[in-house]
Structure 1
Amino acid sequence: MAVLTRPAARPGSPADPAPPAPRRRGRASRWVRDHLVTFVGLAALAYLFVPIVVVVVFSFNAPEGSFNYTWNEFSVDAWANPCSVEGLCASLVLSIKIALLSTLAAVVLGTLAAFALVRHEFRGKGLANVLIFVPMATPEVVAGSSLLVLFVGMGFPLGQATIFIAHTVFCMSFVVVTVKARLVGLDPRLEQAAQDLYADRWQTFWRITFPLILPGVVAAALLSFSLSFDDFIITNFNSGSEVTFPMYVWGAAKKALPPQINVVGTAMLLIALVVTIAGRAIGDRRAAR
């Protein structure tokens, strides 16, 4: 008597369905690999912005004691009276004044130096290109103490003038590097075309060259202002009896940390965002034209 056996089912047939789990796992792992860079970037941004969010949130806090470390209750008193803390607004005004003056000097000198390094040939040009990066790579403790020794050795009194000179020195290197990168990417045929149309050197510079390098100059100015306004180490060495805003915050942290400090930080953040957005909008409008 013949024994009837059931034929083996083909793979994928209804009698032997393939489990979908491996395929789903493959799609999930592929999706994670494709978006891994995005996840890492978002995590890095979140890590960077957490302290900023804390500063903004605690600017609306009414602390119980002198230190604004723990949340107590919502209040806008610090925003209504930002100068109620003694010495805060005076140090803020001094920091803004020094930052504006040093930025102006650094942008002028740095832009001229960038033109010299890009457009002209002279003996020692390679060494000059290397030395431009020295102030950027030098630790601020070394730079600040060296400038202090220089000023004291020359008998120069410490104060606002020494802070201005010190800030101009280390901001100038950043201006040179930023403007130089813009000049290297500038097409010289645009200037040659303007001169072919009977434009002299000054007309070519102000109507062709300067508008093209203006984004680099503005970026260098913003970077210089932020570096000067935020500097503490070099300023601490060369300030004498003057107190800038970073030095005020450092000193206040030992006695009291009022929410007005968070107000100033939030206000500077908002100003930076407005300037950045406005610059991006102007750039997009020019590109559209």
Structure 2
Amino acid sequence: MGRPRFLYVPFWLTYVFLYAPIAVLVVMSFNEGKSPYLHEGFSLKWYGVLAEDDKVMEGLVNTLIVAGGSTVLATVLGTLLAVGLARHTRSKLLDALGLMPAILPDLVLAIGLLVFYDVVQFSLGLHSVILSHALFGMAFVAAVVRTRLAHADSSLEEASRDLGAGPVTTFVRVTLPQLAPGIVAGALLAFTLSIDEFVIAFFTAAPTEPTLPIVIYSMIRFGVTPEINALASILLLVSFTVVIVAQRMTKIGEFRAQD
């Protein structure tokens, strides 16, 4: 006997609550008029306005630079952190400290980084945002890679060492190929987190080099416009695409692990 249909009501209400605002935002981004709340006809003009807005384009370029740089750093450091915690330490304290940046509130981490940069007299700019995003991004990469490590075949590493391969050769030729899907998924996650991160960037960026979320914040203080809706829709599309690719890579890794 099937379950009563009323049991599915909370399930669907939850989905409506989560995605209805997003749907409204996307629909209103194609608005002909200037009203952010009343749809006056279908139009792509606000996407064209974005392309002509120098401030938005500058924020976009800065965001891509930050996201790209921080993703590379987070991926390398996060992968090494995951392998080190999984294979070379049994300390729960070190395990917790390694993943702490992913648990700390963004505001606490942002203030801590700002104070640290001030103490060591490290100038603020895109480089400081890259380092800051890499710090919390590597914790997420480490978490994803560790999940992949749990399914890796350690006997292959043992066989490699038995055949005379050194630790570096074994890691590069045996361990990394097994971790590749997890590394890619972690990198995509770090990239997604970076492109729409606001709090840490707000505290650690230079006023003359704002990222896109900071630009959106400065625009939305004067009210919501279809231009902001269009910009948010683009970020939503990028995030959605990255998540789909990351899920796909994770499934490929699980399928290969089963083989």
> Do the two structures share a fold, i.e. TM-score over 0.5?
yes
Structure 1 residue 101: Cα displacement = 0.5
Pair 1:167-2:137 in alignment: no
**Which of these residues, 156, 177, 187, is aligned with residue 143 of structure 2?**
177
Closer, same or farther: CA 188–53 of 1 in aligned 2, 3 Å: same
Q: 1:204-223 maps to which residues of 2 (within 5 A)?
A: 204-223=170-189
Closer, same or farther: CA 230–280 of 1 in aligned 2, 3 Å: closer
CA contact (8 A) 1:60 1:75 kept: yes
Pair 1:247-2:214 in alignment: yes
Partner of 2:96: 130
Partner of 1:152: 118
Please give the TM-score of this superposition, normalised by the length of structure 2. Answer: 0.84
Residue identity matched to 1:157 = S
Q: Distance in 1 between matches of 2:205 and 2:34?
A: 34
Identity score, percent: 33
SS of 1:83 mapped into structure 2:
helix
Partner of 1:108: 76
Structure 1 residue 117: Cα displacement = 1.2
Partner of 1:51: 21
**Which of these residues, 45, 48, 53, is aligned with residue 80 of structure 1?**
48
Residue identity matched to 1:49 = Y
**Which of these residues, 259, 262, 265, is aligned with residue 226 of structure 2?**
259
Q: Number of paired residues?
A: 255
Q: Distance in 2 between matches of 1:192 and 1:134?
A: 31
- Which 5+ residue runs of structure 2 have no aligned equivalent? none
Pair 1:93-2:61 in alignment: yes
Residue identity matched to 1:224 = A
Structure 1 residue 279: Cα displacement = 5.6
User: Deviation per CA, 1:67-96, whole angstroms, max 9, x where unpaired?
Assistant: x23323221112334322340111111112
Structure that is richer in helix per residue: 2
- Which 5+ residue runs of structure 1 have no aligned equivalent? 1-26
Residue identity matched to 2:122 = F
CA contact (8 A) 1:174 1:224 kept: yes
| RMSD of equivalent CA atoms | 2.9
Closer, same or farther: CA 271–240 of 1 in aligned 2, 3 Å: closer
CA contact (8 A) 2:192 2:242 kept: no
Q: Distance in 2 between matches of 1:279 and 1:155?
A: 38
Q: Distance in 2 between matches of 1:100 and 1:235?
A: 14
Structure 1 residue 229: Cα displacement = 1.2
Higher Rg: 1
Residue identity matched to 2:180 = L
Residue identity matched to 2:107 = V
Structure 1 residue 197: Cα displacement = 6.6
**Which of these residues, 141, 145, 149, is aligned with residue 107 of structure 2?**
141
Pair 1:191-2:157 in alignment: yes
Residue identity matched to 2:182 = G
Q: Distance in 1 between matches of 2:205 and 2:168?
A: 40
User: Deviation per CA, 1:174-196, whole angstroms, max 9, x where unpaired?
Assistant: 11122112112322123334556
SS of 1:262 mapped into structure 2:
helix
Structure 1 residue 31: Cα displacement = 3.1
Residue identity matched to 1:222 = L
Structure 1 residue 164: Cα displacement = 1.2
Q: Distance in 2 between matches of 1:197 and 1:175?
A: 31
